[in-house]
Amino acid sequence: MNNYKNWHEKHFETLGFGSRLADSVAKGMGSWKFIIVQTILVLLWMGLNLIGFIYHWDAYPFILLNLVFSTQAAYAAPIIMMSQNRQSERDRMQAQADYQTNIEAKQEIEALTIILNKLDIEKLDKIIALLEEIKNKG
């Protein structure tokens, strides 16, 4: 089993419960499923309050619904911002990991270039020696 952990795994392990919850909430609220479900609930809320003849728990102009949305927005905004801050941190970690990989690749390429140059010089020296040997025999 490979024990090497990439930067995604290392970052995920550093997250606490609150951070993971905030990321999950932000991910859920930023989905089409959330928008569709919320739209259906709003339409049901408004429909039931408009056609309810006996009991209106939130008569038009739906002040309670506005309060629910305001409360939702008051909590959603900071949660989404926390998640975005962590995304920025993940992006910085990825950029650093990419930079380190590029540095290591550059060093490896430079080492290979030196080896190849040595091989070329050795080949050229052998060719020159063979040509001189042929010249001296002939």
Which tens digits make up the pLDDT trace of 18-63?
A: 888 888 888 888 899 999 999 999 999 888 888 876 777 888 788 9
CA distance 4 to 87: 22
Q: Return the beta strands (E) in 92-135 as ranges.
A: none
Amino acid present at 109:
I
Q: How confident is the model at residue 103 (pLDDT cuts 50, 70, 90)?
A: very high
